[in-house]
Structures are given as structure tokens and as C-alpha cells.
């Protein structure tokens, strides 16, 4: 027999079913709450609210676990590739060799971006933030691919997803090339996804191009680690927009904007800016730790804390190792990396951070790797977006295939009760 919970309100008893999970939080199905009791729930920031049932990824904040379709992130990061992870998230299972080959072949088919998109790109000043440019270009894809996605057709959904996966790295690389005033590179379909992205970012027309496998491997791992994170702010944004049956590209464009914020993906940029600021200020770590703890000070230790992880962020552990590997193999010594390690050490032993369970998150070390690879700070969140794309698409697809209704929260109104309009001469 399945569980239920009882609610007592104004002398009456109401019963609501408990929705079972495979692992982790169960939910109370309150879909009849308002019609039966006249009440709604109030949960600002959705800290306790499950918005959907999902099979894509799972995270346990207390144990610091993250699974993609059931596979632990540590295994995936060690053994898989980003392309395989894209397939896994979208299709639900790891691909056979034949399925993987077909998936790659289809992505290559769509990798050309319309020349007219370049006019749009050139309309942006070089000072434009790459995330703003990326969001605009992603939205503009709709104009160049107006064919609406029929969600009842598996073929249609797959085509739209593949098209976006194929063109998005080109758009990401182009935002970078715009920033540096470099000629735009095209996709080279002889290469795999990550090598291809690498050459679109860094190849110069004037010289031979050598791909450093240490860098390619680090990029692949970073993309894997960012690929999905269940109902996070940007994925929920993609679904919110998509729930109105707006197209996939428009929905993902909104997701890019949500990711941009410093409390979400923008934290990787904010971490480097913070480390630079601390270094230039003389490197007194305790001063900045004290500022982060001070309620009257807006400063927060960027790259620390997470809405769900209250123990450690498993992605941060893998990234820290990748970070050490990259710096050792490339023979780079970086003052900000030293500072980051010291800051982590101080914070992890500080009562405030221990009590509030604030640990380094995925963004604490990722920016240091991007910096070591020569990627400008403002591009860091674009790198996050490229990684998160398969997750956004998988979440969008699941929501549409489940035929979920338009997302439309309610509110507890605390404004003025009804009152009559006053002519301007009577106002005080």
C-alpha cells in the first residue's frame, strides 16, 4: 500500500498521496490541494518543491552523489566521453558503437551555420558579454530553422536536438572569436566534437595548428561534469519557457540567460575575479573570509555553497584533480591557483562554513582550468553552457514528451485590498 500524508485545516482532515522515488526524496502529490482545501503552498525559491518526475539525473546533497541516468559521475568522468554522455542523457541508455557512429554522423550533417548569422554576430560590439551574444545567436537559430518541432514525432524531436547540439559549439566558438577580433572558423567534420570545438576556438589561419591532448582531455571532462544537474535554475528556465510550447531554440536561449547569473553558471567568472581581487589586495585571506561571514557585507565567497549539496560537490572533487593534472602537465604555475587552494583550506576549517555546510562547488576550480587554457574570463560561462546543453535538451524533451502543462505558479497576495481609483487632484 502506498503512503499518504494527512493535513488538518479548520477542523477537517485531508489526505494526499506520497509519490515514490527510485532513490532520494519522495514527494507529496498536492495537485488537489487547492481544489479541496482552498490553500496553496508557499515555497519561495522552490527550496522544497518538486516540479516534475524525472529519469535524467539524480543528486544526493547530503552524500555528495550525482548520477547521470543512474551512472555515478566519477565513473562517467573517468570512462566516458562528452559525446557518449550527450547520447546517454538524451536517449536514456549508453550507445552501442553503431548508435554512437550514427549520432556523430547526424551531428556532422547539421554542423554548418548559416552565413547570414555572421551579420548578426558582426552587429555586436567586441565589448559585448559573450553570454549575451550566445543567447541572441541561439534564439536567432529559430529564424534560420523555422520548422516547428512536432513533439509527437520522435524523428522531429531527435532532429531538432541534433541540430542544436551540432550548431551550438560553432556559436560558442564564434562568440570567442568575436571577442578577440579573430576570423571565424568552421566545423571540421573529420574531427570529433571536442577536438572540433577546440580547433574552432584556437586555430589561427596563419600557422599550423597543434592540438594538445592534455587540453582536449581536460575540456572533455569539464563538459561531462557540467552536462546535467536535474532541476537547476537554467534547466528549469528552459522548461518554463518550453512549457508554453515555445520552440527548443527559444527555450535554450532563455536557459543561457539564466545560466549567466553569478549565483548560477556565472560563478566561474566571479571566482576568478574574486581571486584576482584578493591577490591585488595583498592576499589577506582571513580578511575576505570575515567579509563573507559578515551579515552586513554583501560579499560572498564565490564558488562556495550549493542549494542541494550540503556535504561536498562530487564534480568539484573531479575538477580539482583535472586542475592539478592540467597545471602539472602544462608546467604552469599560477598564483591564483595557489590562492584558491589556501582559501579552500581556510574556509573548510572555519566554523561558519562548517556550520552552514558550505563547500567548494563545481565553479571553484573550473575557471582556473579555463584560465590556464588561455580562455578569457568572460568566456567561462559559455564553456559551462556548452557542457549543459545536452542536459537542457534532455530536460526539455522529457517535459514535452510527458505532455506537462504550462508552468504557472500561484502566489500569496500581500498587496492592497480592493480600493477605488483616486483622481490626481485628490492624491496626497
φ and ψ of 142, to 5 deg: -60, -40
The single-letter DSSP state of residue 16 is: E
Q: Which stretch binds ligand CMC (CB under 6 A): 85-93, 191-199, 298-306, 369-377?
A: 298-306
* Measured distance CA(288)–CA(347) in Å, rounded: 10
Listed residue (338, 405, 68) closest to 224, CA to CA: 68
Build a one-symbol-per-residue string for 249-288: x at contacts with ligand CMC by CB under 6 A, - elsewhere: --------------xxx-x---------------------
CA atoms within 13 A on the CB side of 41: 17
Cβ density class 298-337: b for 16+ within 10 Å, e for less = eebbbbbbbebbbebbbbbbbbbebbeebbeeeeeeeebb
Cell 604552469 belongs to which residue? 332
Listed residue (45, 78, 73) closest to 57, CA to CA: 73
* Measured distance CA(368)–CA(265) in Å, rounded: 14
Q: Of these residues, 264, 306, 313, 350, which one is catalytic? A: 306
Least distance to ligand CMC from the beta carbon of 342, Å?
A: 16
Site for ligand CMC in 390-409 (CB under 6 A): none
Q: Using CB under 6 A, which of 228, 344, 363, 378 touches ligand CMC?
A: 363
Instruction: Name the residue number minimizing CB distance to ligand CMC.
Output: 305
Beta carbons of 133 and 177 less than 8 angstroms apart: no
Least distance to ligand CMC from the beta carbon of 412, Å?
A: 20
Q: Which stretch binds ligand CMC (CB under 6 A): 20-28, 213-221, 278-286, 305-313?
A: 305-313
Beta carbons of 354 and 345 less than 8 angstroms apart: no
Q: Using CB under 6 A, which of 213, 356, 401, 402 touches ligand CMC?
A: 356
Q: Using CB under 6 A, which of 305, 367, 387, 390 touches ligand CMC?
A: 305
Q: Please identify, using beta-carbon distances, which residue of 110 and 352 lies nearer to ligand CMC.
A: 352
Total residues interacting with ligand CMC, rule: CB under 6 A: 20
- Tell whether residue 360 is a contact of ligand CMC (CB under 6 A): no
Active site annotation includes 349 = no
Q: Using CB under 6 A, which of 136, 232, 253, 257 touches ligand CMC?
A: 232
Q: Can you give the C-alpha Rg of the chain in angstroms?
A: 24
DSSP string, 59-117: EETTTTEEEETTEEHHHHHHH--HHHHHHHHHHSSPPPHHHHHHHHHHHHHT-PPPTTH
Least distance to ligand CMC from the beta carbon of 380, Å?
A: 12
Q: Using CB under 6 A, which of 196, 361, 366, 395 touches ligand CMC?
A: 361
Listed residue (395, 391, 406, 405) closest to 54, CA to CA: 395
Q: Using CB under 6 A, which of 300, 317, 329, 341 touches ligand CMC?
A: 300
Q: Please identify, using beta-carbon distances, which residue of 76 and 170 lies nearer to ligand CMC.
A: 76
Element (H, E) at 324: helix 314-329
Build a one-symbol-per-residue string for 307-336: x at contacts with ligand CMC by CB under 6 A, - elsewhere: x-----------------------------
Active site annotation includes 298 = no
Binding site for ligand CMC (CB under 6 A): 229, 232, 263-265, 267, 292, 300-307, 356, 358, 361-363
Residues that are catalytic: 306, 363
Amino acid at each position: 500500500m502506498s503512503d499518504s500524508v494527512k493535513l488538518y485545516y479548520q477542523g477537517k482532515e485531508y489526505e494526499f498521496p506520497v509519490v515514490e522515488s527510485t532513490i532520494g526524496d519522495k514527494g507529496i502529490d498536492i495537485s488537489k490541494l487547492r481544489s479541496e482545501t482552498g490553500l496553496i503552498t508557499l515555497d519561495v525559491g522552490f527550496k522544497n518543491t518538486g516540479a516534475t518526475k524525472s529519469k535524467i539525473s539524480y543528486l544526493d546533497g547530503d552524500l555528495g552523489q550525482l548520477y547521470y541516468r543512474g551512472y555515478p559521475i566519477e565513473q562517467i568522468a573517468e570512462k566516458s566521453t562528452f559525446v557518449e554522455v550527450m547520447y546517454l542523457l538524451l536517449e536514456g541508455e549508453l550507445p552501442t558503437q553503431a548508435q554512437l557512429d550514427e549520432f556523430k554522423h547526424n551531428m556532422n550533417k547539421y554542423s554548418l551555420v548559416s552565413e547570414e548569422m555572421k551579420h548578426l554576430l558582426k552587429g555586436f560590439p567586441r565589448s559585448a558579454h559573450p553570454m549575451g551574444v550566445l543567447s541572441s545567436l541561439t534564439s536567432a537559430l529559430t529564424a534560420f530553422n523555422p520548422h516547428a518541432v512536432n513533439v509527437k514525432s520522435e524523428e522531429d524531436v531527435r532532429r531538432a536536438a541534433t541540430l542544436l547540439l551540432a550548431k551550438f559549439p560553432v556559436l560558442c566558438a564564434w562568440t570567442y572569436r568575436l571577442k578577440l577580433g579573430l576570423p571565424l572558423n568552421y566545423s571540421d567534420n573529420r574531427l570529433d566534437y571536442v577536438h572540433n570545438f577546440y580547433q574552432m576556438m584556437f586555430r589561427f589561419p596563419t600557422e599550423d595548428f597543434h592540438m594538445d591532448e592534455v587540453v582536449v582531455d581536460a575540456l572533455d571532462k569539464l563538459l561531462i561534469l557540467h552536462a546535467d544537474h536535474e532541476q537547476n535554475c537554467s534547466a528549469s528556465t528552459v522548461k518554463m519557457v518550453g512549457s508554453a510550447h515555445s520552440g527548443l531554440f527559444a527555450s535554450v536561449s532563455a536557459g543561457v540567460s539564466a545560466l549567466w547569473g553569478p549565483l548560477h553558471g556565472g560563478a566561474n567568472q566571479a571566482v576568478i575575479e574574486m581571486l584576482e581581487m584578493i591577490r591585488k589586495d595583498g592576499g589577506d585571506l582571513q580578511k575576505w573570509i570575515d567579509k563573507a561571514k559578515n551579515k552586513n557585507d554583501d560579499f560572498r565567497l564565490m564558488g562556495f555553497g550549493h542549494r542541494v549539496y550540503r556535504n561536498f560537490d562530487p564534480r568539484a572533487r573531479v575538477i580539482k584533480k583535472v586542475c592539478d593534472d592540467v597545471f602539472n602537465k602544462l608546467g604552469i604555475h599560477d598564483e591564483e591557483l595557489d590562492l584558491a587552494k589556501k582559501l579552500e583550506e581556510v574556509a573548510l576549517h572555519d566554523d561558519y562554513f562548517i556550520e552552514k555546510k558550505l563547500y567548494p562547488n563545481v565553479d571553484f576550480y573550473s575557471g582556473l582550468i579555463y584560465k590556464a587554457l588561455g580562455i578569457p574570463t568572460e568566456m567561462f560561462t559559455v564553456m559551462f553552457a556548452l557542457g549543459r546543453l545536452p542536459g537542457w535538451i534532455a530536460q526539455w524533451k522529457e517535459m514535452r514528451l510527458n505532455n506537462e502543462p504550462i508552468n504557472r505558479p500561484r502566489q500569496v497576495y500581500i498587496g492592497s485590498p480592493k480600493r477605488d481609483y483616486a483622481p490626481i487632484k485628490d492624491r496626497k
